[in-house]
Homo-oligomer: A and B are copies of this chain.
Amino acid sequence: MWMRIDPSDGVPIYDQIVRQVTFAVADGLLRPGELVPSVRELSRQLTVNPNTVARAYRQLQDEQVLRPVRGTGLAVAQGAAARCRKKRAALIRQRLQQFLNEARRSGLEKSELSSWIETEMARVYNAEAKK
């Protein structure tokens, strides 16, 4: 199974599920029409309470990422891929803006910040290469 939950991450479990499903749809890992694991099934796999999974799935329905198939389960909605890609981009951009604003408010110079970013980006993306 492609999902990984960290209960002590600070970010709520239901939110981690929402994000990972969203990203999986954005990446085409889950295709429109495909059924997602049932609430009980996923709750077993993640050793998480079914209510928590249900809450995540409910939110994904509100966001039109999933649609109910009565008595059968939940399926990825038509057009969800585009929505998810948009949402992912918006999320990342928002985080980026938050970070940059905080850095600027902290009195960091643009040049200094640039060099930090360069350093850390090399580290983070090299870690990926090694892995």
Q: Which residues from chain A sit less than 8 Å from chain B, CB to CB?
A: 7-8, 12-13, 23, 26-27, 49, 62, 67, 69-71, 88, 91-93, 95-97, 99-108, 110, 113-114, 116-117, 120-121, 124-125, 128
Contacts and interface: CB of A to CB of B under 8 A. Distances in A.
A125 B110 CA distance: 7
Copies in the complex: 4
Contacts of A121: 100, 110, 113-114
A114 B96 CA distance: 11
A125 B7 CA distance: 36
Given A26-B107, A70-B13, A71-B49, A120 B96 contact: yes
B124 A106 contact: no
Nearest to A7: B70
A84 B121 CA distance: 25
Contacts of A26: 107
Contacts of A49: 71
B102 A95 contact: yes
A60 to B, nearest CB: 13
Contacts of A88: 106-107
